[in-house]
Structure 1
Amino acid sequence: MGKYRAKVGGMSCSFCTQTIEKAYSRLDGVEEVSASLSHEEVLVKYGPDKVTPQELKQTLLDLGYTVRDPDKVLSFEEQEKELRGEENHLYIAGAFTAFAAALMVAMWFGLMQPWFPYAMLGAALATMFGPGRYIKKMAYNSLKRKILNQHVLLEFGAFAGLTGGFLGFIISDFPVVDFFAVSIFITTYHILFGYSSLAVRTRASQAVKNLMDLQPEKAYIIRDGEEVEVPLDEISVDDMVRVRPGESIPIDGLVEEGYSSVDESLVTGESIPAEKKAGDEVIGGSINKSGSLKIRVTKIGEESFLSQIARHIKEARALKPSIIQLVDKVIKYYVPWVIFMAALGVGVWTLGLWLFAGTLDVPRGIFAALAVLVMGYPCALGMATPLAMIRGGGEAARKGIFMRSGEAFQVFGDIDVMVLDKTGTITIGEPRMVEVQALSDERELLEIASSAEIPSEHPLARAIVEGAKDRGIAMAEPKNFEATHGKGITAKVEGKGVLVGNLRFLEDQDTEIGGLEIAEGMEEKGETVIGVTADKELLGFIGIADVIKDDAAEAVNKLNELGIETIMITGDNEKTAKAVAAKVGIDEVLAEVLPDKKAEKIRDLQNKGQKVAMVGDGINDAPALMQADVGIATGAGTDTAIESADVVLVRDKLTLLIEGYHIGRSSYSKTKQNLTLAFSFNGVGVPASVTGLVHPVWAMIAMVASVSAVLLNSFGGRLIPKSEETIAPREFKLKVPTIHCENCVSTIESEIGEIDGVKSVEVSLSSKEIKVSYRGDELVKERVREKLLELGHAFNG
């Protein structure tokens, strides 16, 4: 099977994805189609013997979309160009709208001139067939495929206004200027909505570009015994490349000569460097930490590890489940209803009136139908979701959460499974000294080990030195320091011959190792065990591990309380993974998962019908973050992970996941409220228009009123009571030992009483306790705690 991927411009709703998928499914040879609205990409699997890539591209063009190559860095520049084009459309339409508004105001003040209808006609035609021309193409292609969406709804209303204006030249009861004005206003609004949607989706998604930036542009290859600097694209398989300490490894290959520790965290996610010797594989983009390496190139171009990760990111982006926005679900039924009501308007005043009165009122029937189509375009419809997202986004930002996509708001509150990466997500992502098991004197053990490791740059050595500093251990300058790569070091510390290294290294130095059961117990907990000897005497063991974040267990516990299943995924070995998972309360572990398989694991969960969130921080997590229904990157993560995510935790705290979950639920609820308000005006206005008594001006007034209501509900208060209002309030108590006077009591009652959701506050000076009654989600409790901290009060509970 062949694969065709394309970046698609002009997608604005889930009907666009349906249109694309239906069009492709009707082509002979197409086996599978995945269209992503959030990333504006399509992935088609096809039989090359039946259909060509050019035919697949032409299908998109015929549908009215623009097509870009997703592999080119210039794709983003092209998207920016589209945004500028849409901005120009908006400026032109805005100018015509301002002109039309001026004529309307003049007319309302009794300054009507004979040329006003013709001027308004010219403005209407210029707006609809100038900047609004592309909407007609989209609407035509949708209608041709029997799909009703907002483009179709706009054109029904716009052409109804245009028709009504033309009829006004013939029928005196038809307000010419008003009908033409409506065509201008709703077309301009639709362009504004399209521009806003495109602006939201057009962001600098540099994930793939950042990946390739990890590789240096040039490398040193060995030819005829000499080192030659050449561009990366001139390297061939079997070339010999020299990489010195501190340099980035430019290619995938096998170590021919040398020994070094290599930091592969950017690509594998694991914080402890891997020791590399002759015969070991190395990955392009990783960092050579210590020794010099001579590497034979085994993979170049599209076969290299980073290129494969880039490809998996692109495919995951196209295969990501398409989220059907709530507004699209509503439109699916709303548009046919408007068309039916328009037909009813004609029927009532023609056939209906003839049956009851024996006469026909065709002009009134036409007026009623046109009024229905004009009133049927809800201006607030397009604003309902964005305004709820803006409100929720602002609240999330104050908490340290950056919501990068509208889909994140809609899906976050419906998550069934939260998959968490281990290294850098559950753990801090760097080795720390976590345990010391001394056979005699612990302080002596740390003094000798840390002193001996002072000259070493190895991460495990730095962990020992920093751990000793934290415990206030005094260190002496070592002598005769010598490192054995991948094993350990020898040195003289205050006249004693010291060995610090792994147990095999100590055995090679003829050291008798006792207490092996202690070392084995430390290894069972996922620790890297370092032995320490002085003058051939074993002093004890030091455990090095990647430390679990302080709030990881709390976050996992709260997720489980919310009914969200937690799974840990990692490329690390199963023993270490299970040890970490047990400490934070995660039962299911996916260990030893290669980077290119993480997205596949996410897809497996999605194929079971589950909504999946993925939390990660590394390049190896990027495909999975892109594939998940909601990809969540930690703020300390790589640029590639952050650019692949829908949500970014700006502060590196996992408890923010719970905050994001509640904000997502709240924003989705606000979206539903806004839609209810938006359609309430149309729910009254459209049936009223069937009477043939609704003037086109009332359509514009309804648009203003509905938008005002949505704005007020989003930012100024709650116009639709939450369902929780019918539920009894909940209570919680906090001990506040810093309450010392009546002034404290009154201040706390006043400040906390103002928090949205709080119903009552009782403060006891004698028991130094507050009791809060509230409605709503757990965010209310968090706001109360934050307010107490702002007021300078400590609390328990």
Structure 2
Amino acid sequence: MGTTQEQFNVGGMSCSFCAESIEKAYSRTGGVEDVDVSLAHEEVLVRYDDGILSEVKVKDTLRDLGYTIRDPDKAKRYEQQQAELADGKRRLLLAGGASIVVAALMGWMIVVMGRFESASPVMDLVTLGLALGTMFGPGRYITEKAFQSLRRGIFNQHVLLEAGAFAGLLGGLLGLFVFPSFPTVHFFAVSVFITTYHILSEYTSLIVRTRASQAVQSLLDLQPDTARRVTDDGNVEDVPVDDIAVGDQVRVKPGENVPVDGVVGGGKSTVDESVATGESIPEEKTEGDEVIGGSVNETGTLLVEVTAIGDDAFLNQVAREIEEARAMKPGIIQLADRVLKYFVPGVLTIAALSLTFWLVAPLAWGGGPNVQRGAFAALAVLVLGYPCALGMATPLALIRGGGKAANRGILMRSGDAFQIFPDIDHIVLDKTGTITVGEPVVSEIVGVGEGETDVLATAASAEAFSEHPLADAILDHADDRGVEYADPESFDSVTGNGVRATVAGDDVLVGKPGWLEAEGVDLSDAGDEIERLQRRGLTVSGVVRDGDLVGLIGIGDELKTDAAETVQRIKDAGITPVMITGDNERTAQAVAEEVGIERVMADVLPDEKREEIGRLQDDGERITGSRTSSERRSDGSHRVAMVGDGINDAPALTQADIGIAIGAGTDIAIESADIVLMGERLGGVMDAYEIGEESYRKTRQNLATAFAFNGIGVAAATTGLVHPVFAMLAMVLSVSAVLANSFGGQLLSGEGVNTEFAVEDEDSTEIGDGQPAAD
């Protein structure tokens, strides 16, 4: 007995009220110790005492609230999401059809017949049927959610909506059977319209969520389905990876993905582990070295002894870590939600008091209960109090900002990207692929007895048959400079060290300084140059002809052209830039110094990045150096943005308050981020920051407008003089005002409105042409 943790992917969540309802329900459930709800990823993480509460009871709480628990299998989960989308579309078509018919009947009654009150019993009964059909047909799930919420004492948007819908239904029934002067059709119409609006808003939200890419599954797909297992008698058999056990030996040929985590038991090769580490230069692997499933074996054949399978394998651990981090990521309470927390019970209370007042107050001046005026007041309060404009205030501002961002090649994937960015005080930048290009290039050539061109030509000739990425860098540099080189007469690759070749009758060696010395080459005269190049963070290859060193080639990862400029923009905004990398301290400091970053996290293992981001968010212990009080939040923590591109960055991107992925990076990094920069331009980080600031300002303006309409409307409705039809028109007017504030200036300026940011294509990460517009 003890604390148990369960994580669920939940269907049916559409807004922050849903997340709040789930949190409240669990907080009132005995045995639950803690719960984290991620609306963005539709995930719930519950920690509970299994001596008090069972897993079945934990799941039943979610189901009782009207939410579904999706299958843990990602393929089946995707199918369930598609089924939910189909159900949502069906509900919308049914409710939308009812709304069109009701609107046509109202138009006929008002325009053609010139009447507001009931025109005929047939019309009354038709609208009653449409109201009942909408509320208990496509809208039945809303009623069930509202009932379950009320049963737990939770007041949310479902309760407010159903209060309005049932008030309209009750008012219509009173007009149908008690008070002939009541506008029966209009009362029933309110029930239909607000139910349809809610179904529409939830369907829109569902479209965005079900379009999310299957990147976590793509991550797991990097691991091959089969492996070549070596049997006890030395034969090789192809078997499913699921049949591999710890201790088995598998053979991996050049060009293949390593199917399992393990240790090299035989052979030598270079292995591209950028899938895990993000580092661009492959690692040399010999007997005893660890290899990671999903990495690419490049040059030699390896015999690998399996050390981890299933949930213990690296890729599965990353996938699980991402999902847990998403569920535990601190949610940001939107400004509207903070107010709506009190707004919903307030509207319900005012509606009840308004009805009571007009039933009781007339007695004080000698009259009788004014049932019609009380009913008008209560219904109009509920209609005008329904937070339609409030619910749209934030999304419309985000659409406006998202359109501007898309025109600059930036995809803003969440509301947090807008609301939190103005509060960010640290931006953590991954080195490889973010600050740097992510591919090895020749940075410097040092001639020792020969000119640079001759050194390059000799090295290129020796490396002409090599498949090593460092050889590719040398050959590409020679091609770019127009240096001619010939194929070698003989060639031998010395795995992990370099190459040996015969070029124009001369014996040529190109490789690591340590290997060259072991081959008897005297490097004493070039010691200072080798040290200087290594201090710059470059990989040094010596070029030797007939036993004599003729030159050095420094190969490194080139800085992005706008890296230094972007770092300066970060500083100018009052934000502290930090670099994080798995590289050694010397290489990291060299790159950081070149771009102007003072604070560096070096030698960080792939699985430690998320931990370092969390530590920085909490108290910044990992980073040394003084801080001003303005850099710290009131609770001593930091708001942190993380910029990265590799699989190893994905958990950290999820942990950060804002994750920013380079669009040229891996799918899993993009899926884990709140913002995606299309292409490789690092300057998009600060472009997104500026757009986020502006959009949040628009959000506050929209909310002020919406609250003004709701506040004035509710106050006017209490008089009982606001006809339900006019209340509906006022709600439409409030939405129009918010729309005008969001897009009016943009339309007048000719910028246009780009809403493509809101929905990601499953097969592409491009928005428009994927190119940033000129500033």
CA distance in 2, matches of 1:265, 1:705: 54
- Which of 601, 607, 619 matches 1:596? 607
Superposed, 1:236-275 pairs within 5 Å as 236-275=245-284
| Paired position in structure 2 for 1:646 | 674
Q: Report the equivalent of 2:100.
A: 98
Q: C-alpha displacement at 1:153, in angstroms?
A: 1.8
CA offset digits 1:133-180 (Å, max 9, x no partner) = 111222223333333322222112111211211221312442111111
- Check if 1:656 corresponds to 2:665: no
CA contact (8 A) 1:619 1:640 kept: yes
Structure 1 residue 443 displacement after superposition: 2.3
Tell me which of the two structures has the higher relative contact order, counting C-alpha pairs closer than 8 angstroms and 6 or more residues apart: 2
User: Which of 306, 310, 315 pairs up with 2:324?
Assistant: 315
Q: Which amino acid aligns with 1:140?
A: F
Aligned counterpart, 1:491 = 501
Distance 1:20 1:322, change over 3 A: same
Inter-partner Cα distance in structure 2 for 1:310 and 1:557: 34
Flag structure 1 segments of 5+ consecutive residues without an equivalent.
720-752, 757-783, 788-797
Q: Secondary structure at the match of 1:43?
A: strand
CA contact (8 A) 1:613 1:631 kept: yes
* Residue of structure 2 equivalent to 1:771: none
The alpha carbon displacement at 1:74 in A equals 1.5
Corresponding position of 1:107: 109
Q: Does 1:477 align with 2:487?
A: yes
Cα distance in 1 for partners of 2:746, 2:255 equals 58
Whether 1:346 aligns to 2:346 is: no
Residue from 449, 459, 468 that aligns with 1:449: 459
Aligned to 2:199: 191
Once the 2 structures are TM-superposed, how far is the Cα of residue 510 of structure 1 from its aligned partner? 0.7
Change (3 A) 1:231 1:360: closer
CA 360–119 in structure 1, closer or farther in 2 if over 3 Å, else same: closer
Q: CA deviation at 1:712?
A: 2.3
Instruction: State the secondary structure of the residue aligned to 1:531.
Output: strand
- 703, 708, 718: which one aligns with 2:731: 703
Which residue identity lines up with residue 564 of structure 1 in the other structure?
A: I
Residue of 119, 125, 149 corresponding to 1:118: 125
Q: SS in structure 1 opposite 2:399?
A: helix
Q: AA paired with 2:4? A: G
Deviation at 1:347, TM superposition (A): 4.8
Deviation at 1:615, TM superposition (A): 1.2
Q: 2-side partners of 1:287 and 1:129: how far apart?
A: 56
Which secondary structure state, in structure 2, belongs to the residue aligned with residue 290 of structure 1?
A: coil
Write the distance in 2 (CA, Å) between the matches of 1:48 and 1:138: 27
- 8 Å Cα contact 1:193-1:382 kept in structure 2: no
How far 1:312 sits from its partner (Å)? 0.7
Q: What's the Cα RMSD here? A: 2.2
State the Cα distance separating 1:442 from its structure 2 match.
Answer: 2.2
Of 194, 198, 210, which residue of structure 2 is paired with 1:202?
210
AA aligned opposite 1:167: L
Q: Take 1:305 and 1:385, find their aligned partners in 2: how far apart are those partners?
A: 39
> Matched residues in 2 for 1:378 and 1:17: separation?
17
- Distance in 1 (CA, whole Å) between partners of 2:60 and 2:590 is 54
CA distance in 2, matches of 1:612, 1:236: 41
SS at 2:211 equivalent: coil
Once the two structures are superposed, residues 485-512 of structure 1 have per-residue CA deviations (whole angstroms, 9 ceiling, x without a partner) of 1111122222322111111111111111
Q: How does 1:22-33 map to 2 (within 5 A)?
A: 22-33=24-35
From 47, 56, 64, the equivalent of 1:54 is: 56
Question: CA offset at residue 360 of structure 1?
Answer: 4.8
What corresponds to 1:563 in structure 2? 574
1:273-297 CA-partner distances (Å, limit 9, x unpaired): 1001111111111111001111111
> Helix, strand or coil for the counterpart of 2:423?
coil
- SS at structure 1 position matched to 2:420: helix
| Conserved 8 A contact 1:19-1:145 | no
Amino acid at match of 2:330: P
Q: Which of 575, 579, 598 is residue 587 of structure 1 equivalent to?
A: 598
Residue type at the aligned position of 1:476: A
Percent of matched pairs sharing the same residue = 57
Q: In structure 1, what is the Cα distance between the partners aligned to 2:252 and 2:218?
A: 21
Distance 1:57 1:490 in 2: 65
SS of equivalent to 1:420: strand
CA–CA separation in structure 1 for the residues paired with 2:146 and 2:639:
32
Structure 1 distance, partners of 2:470, 2:773, is: 40
Shift of 1:359: 6.2
Is 1:619 matched with 2:647? yes
AA of the residue aligned to 2:214: Q
Specify the alignment match of 2:397 in structure 1. Answer: 388
Conservation of the 8 A alpha-carbon contact between 2:376 and 2:724: no
CA distance in 2, matches of 1:130, 1:18: 26
1:245 Cα deviation after fit = 0.7
Contact 1:7 1:40 in 2 (8 A): yes
1:690 aligned onto 2:718? yes
C-alpha contact 1:635 1:649 (8 A) present in aligned 2: yes
Supply the distance in 1 between the matched residues of 2:200 and 2:277 (Cα, whole angstroms): 44
Aligned partner letter, 1:684? I
Q: Say which SS state the counterpart of residue 109 (structure 1) adopts.
A: helix
Instruction: State whether structure 2 residue 562 is matched by structure 1 residue 551.
Output: yes
| Count of residue correspondences | 727
Q: What do residues 570-626 of structure 1 show as CA deviations (whole Å, max 9, x unaligned)?
A: 222222122212211222222222222222222223334332222111111111122
- Cα offset for 1:326? 2.8
Deviation at 1:73, TM superposition (A): 2.5
Q: 1:384: how far off? A: 2.2
Asked whether the equivalents of residues 29 and 48 of structure 1 are also in contact (C-alpha less than 8 Å), the reply is: yes
Going from structure 1 to structure 2, the CA distance change for 1:120 and 1:754 (only over 3 Å counts) comes to closer
CA separation in 2, counterparts of 1:324 and 1:97? Answer: 33
Q: Deviations over 1:346-388 (max 9, x none)?
A: 3543554444667653542343222212222243333222222
- Deviation at 1:29? 3.7
Letter matched to residue 3 of structure 1: Q
2:661 equivalent to 1:633:
yes
Amino acid at match of 1:105: G
Q: Aligned-pair distance for 1:85? A: 0.8
Do the aligned residues in 2 keep the contact of 1:261 with 1:274 (CA within 8 Å)?
yes
Per the alignment, do residues 70 and 662 of structure 1 end up closer, same or farther by CA in structure 2, a change over 3 Å counting? Answer: farther
User: How far apart in 1 are the matches of 2:461 and 2:369?
Assistant: 104
Q: Structure 1 residues 718, 399: CA separation in 2 closer, same or farther (over 3 Å shift)?
A: closer
1:125: how far off? 0.9
CA distance in 2, matches of 1:69, 1:623: 23
Task: Report the counterpart of residue 168 of structure 2 in structure 1.
Answer: 161
* Closer/same/farther in 2, CA of residues 345 and 318 from structure 1, 3 Å limit: same
Say if 1:20 and 1:60, in contact at 8 Å, map to a contact too.
yes
The worse-fitting range, judged by mean Cα deviation, of 328-337 and 210-219 is: 328-337
Matches of 2:290 and 2:666, distance apart in 1: 23
- Give the structure 2 partner of residue 532 of structure 1: 543
Deviates more, 1:93-102 or 1:205-214: 205-214
Mapped partners of 1:428, 1:392: distance in 2: 28
Alpha-carbon shift at residue 659 of structure 1 (Å): 1.2
Q: Distance in 2 between matches of 1:454 and 1:639?
A: 33
Whether the 8 Å contact between 1:13 and 1:328 is mirrored in structure 2 is no
Cα deviation for residue 690 of structure 1 reads: 1.3
